[in-house]
Amino acid sequence: MTTQQELLHPLLPGEKIPNDWYPGIIPANIKVGDNTVVESSFSFKHFFSSLPVALLVGDNVTLWRTAISTEENGLIEIGDDCYIANASLVCSQKITIGNRVFIAGGVTIADSDFHPLDPALRLADTIALSPIGNSKNRPAMKSKPVIIEDDVWIGFNATILKGVRIGAGAVIQPGALVTDHVPAGVTVSGNPAKPVKLYQ
């Protein structure tokens, strides 16, 4: 039986992963610490940032089936000792993840809505993206950086939206939709996410 460790490979900028099932190459414009691993170059299929350094990753980080998606000016920072499993990081401007952060499967972290909120502009955006449209005519969209501090746990299928700051040691329960800041050490749950009282 193949173990997860056997399916992980060093994250090396500009390199092709040997025997990778996806025929991609790790982006060259990333900076990676020691002992950081990735499952496949498929993680970077939608990595379009042209910044000189668009991804900063610390030491001892695991990116297991995680989508690292950026627009042209997107920057993602990930600290040391993080485990990110089958999540989606979708970045227009900036996403910062601290040290010792655990992100479970199905989690989405996005620093933009990636579509206008005004109904008329949203319709225009839909047309611009259609086969008869021109994606260069998309209306402007807002983005706000997302900051996740140290020692945060984010449970299955949670969603973290633009402009959110999650304080150190906070816990985001499975399925939570986080639309506002979460103070340090607080556990939140629900849609929209609110603090919950934990019973010992």
- b vs e for 103-134, b when ≥16 Cβ sit within 10 Å of the residue's Cβ? bbebbebbbbeeebeeeeeeebbeeeeeeeee
Residue 169's contacts (CB-CB under 8 Å, 6 or more residues apart) are 149, 150, 151, 152, 184, 185
Is residue 181 flagged as an active site residue?
A: no
Backbone angles phi, psi at 198, to 5 degrees: -100, 140
Please identify which of the residues 9, 46, 115, 181 carries the catalytic annotation.
115
- From 1, 71, 77, 84, select the one nearest 37 (Cα to Cα): 84
The residues annotated with a catalytic role in the active site are 115
